[in-house]
Amino acid sequence: MKRVVVLGGGVGGTIVANLVAKKARDAEVTLVDKTGKHVYQPGFVYVAFDKWNPKRLVKDERKLLRRRVKLLIDEVVRVDTKGKQVHLKSGTALAYDYLVIATGARLAPEEIPGSAGAHHFYSVDGALKLRDALAKFPGGRVVITVGGVPYKCPPAPAESACLLDYYFSKRGIRDKVDIHYLSPLGRVFPLETVSPTVQKIFDAKSVRYTTFFNAERVDPEKKVVYSLEGEEVPYDLLIMIPPHHGATFAKDSGLTDAGGWIPTDKYTLEVKGHEGAIWAIGDATDIPISKAGATAHYEAKVVGENVAAMVDGEAPIARYDGKVMCFCDAGFHRGIAMRFDYQHPPVPPPLSLKWYLGKVLVNRLYWTIVPKARA
């Protein structure tokens, strides 16, 4: 028996654990997750805009795992790469032959001084607080800003600007709301080929934007957000994407770069310096592509195949080509779709009902298909 340990019960970790359990009979698969709850993060924004009940976002991880996968609800403290053991908060030392790290990113809103009153939609609690604040908002300046790069789901801030336009239009107070998007980059959207399309959408919706604005601090009394670049923007309601970092245990285990991300081969997804023993997927890696569920999904299929092959004594030949596909909701039942990989930048199709429905379909089918590795 080969011991396969997967850290993290998000989309990536769940797919890897299920795939290895399905394909490799000689694998003893253990997944460690600190909450035992699987959260569908793309739904946060719909909770914030009062379209979804938050219950729709969370399921027990156990129910998503194959019976052969052992689930440990515990917290990782440290990985001993020499002794091939994972040390858990409970005191357990978990030995492994193959280790997959899929522990995502953690939010660090406290790093932006004065931002305690800022809203975000990157957790269930954050989305609920924003929902309640939006419901009471009488009109004024809503500012969306980014507290640190990289952050999860690069399109999300721009998508939220469009959904604010839709939300306030439906409430009948759009003319009383000034939506101002502060982009951390020199354009409104991270992907260069998609940015002109998003800029046109912003112009059509009268969403204001400022580029090269990286939030540095907030004065909650004056209601002003200040940037690293020396600019200041007043607000009545502030939405700030919190700074993101990798999991603390990875840093404590000497597995990360200066930014807290795990140096990972972008094709094999092996952790550099630990080839053949440790893999990393999803938000946890330093791979320069979108930190997003779709990325973790496609990476997990590659790692699941390769770890299963190694358990069976075969060569790990699957390679990740950088494939990412995602849909963005632009409000008013319109959306755009993006598909790209390492070699092919996205070619954005026009705004259409079709891509909005694509997003609706993915949201509806997620629980049935994705974590169970059926797609």
Partner 1 sequence: MVQETVQVTRLVDARGSVCPGPLMALIGAVREQKVGDVIAVYSGDSGSKGDIPLWVKKAGHELIAVKDHEGYAEFVIRKIR
Distance, in Å, from the CA atom of 159 to the CA atom of 206, rounded to the nearest integer, reads 14
To partner 1, the closest distance from the beta carbon of 300 in angstroms equals 22
Eight-class DSSP state of 206: T
Residues 74, 90 contacting (CB under 8 angstroms): yes
> Site residues (CB under 8 A) for partner 1?
148-150, 184-186, 190, 192, 212, 214, 216, 228-230, 258-259, 266, 288
To partner 1, the closest distance from the beta carbon of 266 in angstroms equals 7
Nearer to partner 1, 81 or 214 (CB): 214
Nearer to partner 1, 237 or 287 (CB): 287
To partner 1, the closest distance from the beta carbon of 35 in angstroms equals 28
To partner 1, the closest distance from the beta carbon of 350 in angstroms equals 24
The bridge status of strand 85-88 relative to strand 76-80 is antiparallel
Between vectors from CA 163 to CA 223 and to CA 49, what angle results, nearest 5°?
Answer: 80
Dihedral of alpha carbons 178, 181, 182, 187, sign: negative
To partner 1, the closest distance from the beta carbon of 66 in angstroms equals 35
Nearer to partner 1, 288 or 350 (CB): 288
321 in helix, strand or coil? coil
To partner 1, the closest distance from the beta carbon of 283 in angstroms equals 14
Strand order through the sheet with 278-280: 70-73, 27-33, 2-7, 98-101, 278-280
Nearer to partner 1, 129 or 217 (CB): 217
- Of 323, 358, 321, the C-alpha closest to 337 is 358
User: How far, CA to CA in Å, does 350 sit from each of 42, 153, 201, 247?
Assistant: 22, 21, 10, 38
Dihedral of alpha carbons 199, 203, 205, 206, sign: positive
To partner 1, the closest distance from the beta carbon of 186 in angstroms equals 5
Residues 234, 226 contacting (CB under 8 angstroms): no
Nearer to partner 1, 190 or 316 (CB): 190
Distance, in Å, from the CA atom of 178 to the CA atom of 72, rounded to the nearest integer, reads 47
Nearer to partner 1, 61 or 216 (CB): 216
Nearer to partner 1, 31 or 156 (CB): 156
Longest dimension (CA), the chain: 65
